[in-house]
Amino acid sequence: MTKTKIHLVTFIQKLILLVYKDARGYQFEAISSNGNIYRHSEIYYSASSAEAKGRLWIKALMSEEF
């Protein structure tokens, strides 16, 4: 069984940024208030690099979709 560990849950520009680690490495997702999940497929070697990329990614999502 693969363990997943959550490293960060924060609210950024109407989206929740979730940074977590699983067997492949650190990843992030964005979750909207209505439950839509925006997944990002890249793998990172640290929680801080996943968080930094996630923050930039959310800014880009917000400018495109909302």
Express each pLDDT in 9-56 by its tens digit: 999 989 999 999 999 999 999 999 999 999 989 999 999 999 999 999
* pTM higher than the cut 0.85: yes
Would you say residue 66 has pLDDT above 80?
Answer: no
Cα(39)–Cα(3) distance, integer angstroms: 19
Query: For 37-43, which contacts have Cβ atoms below 8 Å and span 24 or more sequence positions?
Result: none
Cα radius of gyration rounded to whole Å, the chain: 12
pLDDT of residue 13: 87
Would you say 38 and 55 are in contact if contact means Cβ atoms under 8 Å apart? Answer: no
pLDDT band at 64 (very low <50, low <70, confident <90, very high): confident
Write the single-letter amino acid at 57.
Answer: W
